[in-house]
Amino acid sequence: MPDSGPTLADIARAAEVSTATVSHALNGTGRLSDATRRRVRATATALGYGAPRTGPRTRTLGIAVTTFPGPWNYTEIAYFSRVVTAATAAAHAHGYALTTLPADRVADAAWHTLAVDGMLIVDSPPGDPMVRALRARGIPLVFDGVPGDAREDDHWIDNDHTATTREVLDHLSAAGARRIALQSGSGAETYARVVTATYEKWCAEHGVAARAVRFDAADPEGRAFDELLTGTGTSAGMSTGTGTSTGPGTGSGPARADAVYAAYDPGGRQLLAAARRHGLRVPEDLLLVCASEDPGYADTEPPVTTVSLNPERTARAAVDRLVALVEGTHPPTPGPTVVPAALRVRASSQGRAQRGAPRRGGG
């Protein structure tokens, strides 16, 4: 027997009201407050009430980035742009169209009626309303990055962000850095949390103060780095979440940071701009690594060392798994597929002893 979808009783239990209230709310009858009527209708929509439960596949997949609410164009960021392009090619190779959804989670009604066979969701945070809506409809999901509300039967593709962050910090330390700072994310996605936690732990293991600033896309001049680069002030811009000091160092020597790992794409250019404003030379006075897929970092002055998260391989793996879930012929095992990241060393992170040595990872 086909699944008939949620009943009025199901909606009533979820909304914590009576079935009569549900009936009045959905039919526009009865004497209900506007707030109650809206809440019941939102609950019904989230549970997939009225959505088609059977029928032929549309041979369409969807992709969206749900990290931040509100409108923002994630395709302007190199990582997401490359994921979308590679996912489109992979979907077409399987005979599916790929629909790219906007990031604005405020206008989320479309997610409850979206005609897709499966969905690839990038950087899903805890409490993601889009995930709840799609789960309620029974839409197969694959995540790029660990989902914020992971379940035992979830599928995701990700990098080993712990190992990658440690590789970056060890590289900077080997280049002579002693006061390494972090520019981390402002979202609740797993990437930001893992990178920050790994940085904190590494600093604790090495007996140095953890100093971090929050990434701000609307900061082209890198003003968020001012306290780090001058050693002034009492805070470097964000709490790392474990009580570790985020202010300038208290040990011997100058408090100014001598290296920064920028974990988000524009951070490298922001830091170059900040260094110029403060008269600091990269790499002589400041070492820099940036996580980015932007090839332009090979042509900056100096060329910036980057971490690539391999978006093409990630996207292909995600689409392959999503198609397998949709078609159900060879269902994959739940859990992660780990895609290796790559540290591409350039001049911005090479100490004096390293600048004469061969570069690792290509230009």
Mean pLDDT in residue range 88-105: 90
Mean pLDDT in residue range 242-264: 63
**Distance from C-alpha of 167 to C-alpha of 173, rounded to nearest angstrom:** 10
Query: What pLDDT was estimated at residue 306?
Result: 98
Same domain, 154 and 261: no
Chain position carrying tokens 């939102």: 42
Higher local confidence (pLDDT), 206 or 9:
206
Query: What pLDDT was estimated at residue 355?
Result: 53
User: What Å distances lie between residue 58 and 48, 98, 119, CA to CA?
Assistant: 18, 11, 13
Percentage with pLDDT > 70 across the chain: 83
Range(s) of the domain holding residue 19? 8-46
- Supply 324's token pair: 């397998």
Answer yes or no: is 362 within a domain: no
Same domain, 301 and 165: yes
Same domain, 212 and 247: yes
Same domain, 176 and 282: yes
How many other CB atoms are there within 10 angstroms of residue 203's CB atom? 22
pLDDT digits (tens, 9 = 90+) for 22-38: 888 877 778 889 888 88
Answer yes or no: is 68 within a domain: yes
Q: How confident is the model at residue 236 (pLDDT cuts 50, 70, 90)?
A: very low
pLDDT at residue 103 tops 90 = no
* Sequential DSSP letters for 98-152: EEEPPS-SSS-THHHH---SEEEEESPPTT-HHHHHHHHHT--EEEES--TT--T
Query: What pLDDT was estimated at residue 352?
Result: 62
Query: What pLDDT was estimated at residue 99?
Result: 93
Same domain, 224 and 293: yes
Query: What pLDDT was estimated at residue 251?
Result: 35
Query: What pLDDT was estimated at residue 250?
Result: 35
Same domain, 107 and 218: no
Answer yes or no: is 361 within a domain: no
Q: What is the DSSP secondary structure assignment for residue 355, as one 8-state letter?
A: T
- Supply 109's token pair: 């009604």
User: What Å distances lie between residue 142 and 58, 117, 321, 345, CA to CA?
Assistant: 18, 12, 7, 32
Same domain, 25 and 72: no
Query: What pLDDT was estimated at residue 77?
Result: 87
Answer yes or no: is 328 within a domain: yes
Mean pLDDT in residue range 179-184: 96
Higher local confidence (pLDDT), 358 or 78:
78
| Of 232, 313, 306, 327, nearest in space to 262 by CA | 306
H or E element that contains 11: helix 8-15
Answer yes or no: is 52 within a domain: no
Mean pLDDT in residue range 319-338: 92
Query: What pLDDT was estimated at residue 233?
Result: 53
- Supply 138's token pair: 């029974």
Query: What pLDDT was estimated at residue 360?
Result: 41
Q: Would you tell me the crossing angle of helices 78-93 and 311-327 to the nearest 10 degrees? A: 40
Same domain, 326 and 271: no
Answer yes or no: is 19 within a domain: yes
Same domain, 153 and 232: no
CATH of the domain at 136: 3.40.50.2300
Answer yes or no: is 249 within a domain: yes
pLDDT digits (tens, 9 = 90+) for 136-180: 778 999 999 999 999 999 999 999 999 999 999 999 999 999 999
pLDDT digits (tens, 9 = 90+) for 335-362: 999 999 999 999 999 986 555 554 444 4
Sorted by sequence, the CB contacts under 8 Å of residue 178 that are 6+ apart come out as: 208, 253, 258
Flag the least confident range among 99-108, 118-127, 214-223. 99-108
Same domain, 280 and 148: no
pLDDT at residue 74 tops 90 = no
Averaged pLDDT of the chain = 85
Taking the whole predicted model, whether its pTM rises above 0.85 is answered as no
pLDDT digits (tens, 9 = 90+) for 270-303: 999 999 999 999 999 999 999 999 999 999 999 9
Q: How confident is the model at residue 235 (pLDDT cuts 50, 70, 90)?
A: very low
Query: What pLDDT was estimated at residue 34?
Result: 86
Answer yes or no: is 358 within a domain: no
Same domain, 185 and 304: yes
Mean pLDDT in residue range 213-230: 92
Contact 139, 116 (CB under 8 A): yes
Domain count, the chain: 3
Query: What pLDDT was estimated at residue 121?
Result: 95
Same domain, 234 and 145: no
Query: What pLDDT was estimated at residue 313?
Result: 97
| Of 280, 300, 281, nearest in space to 290 by CA | 300
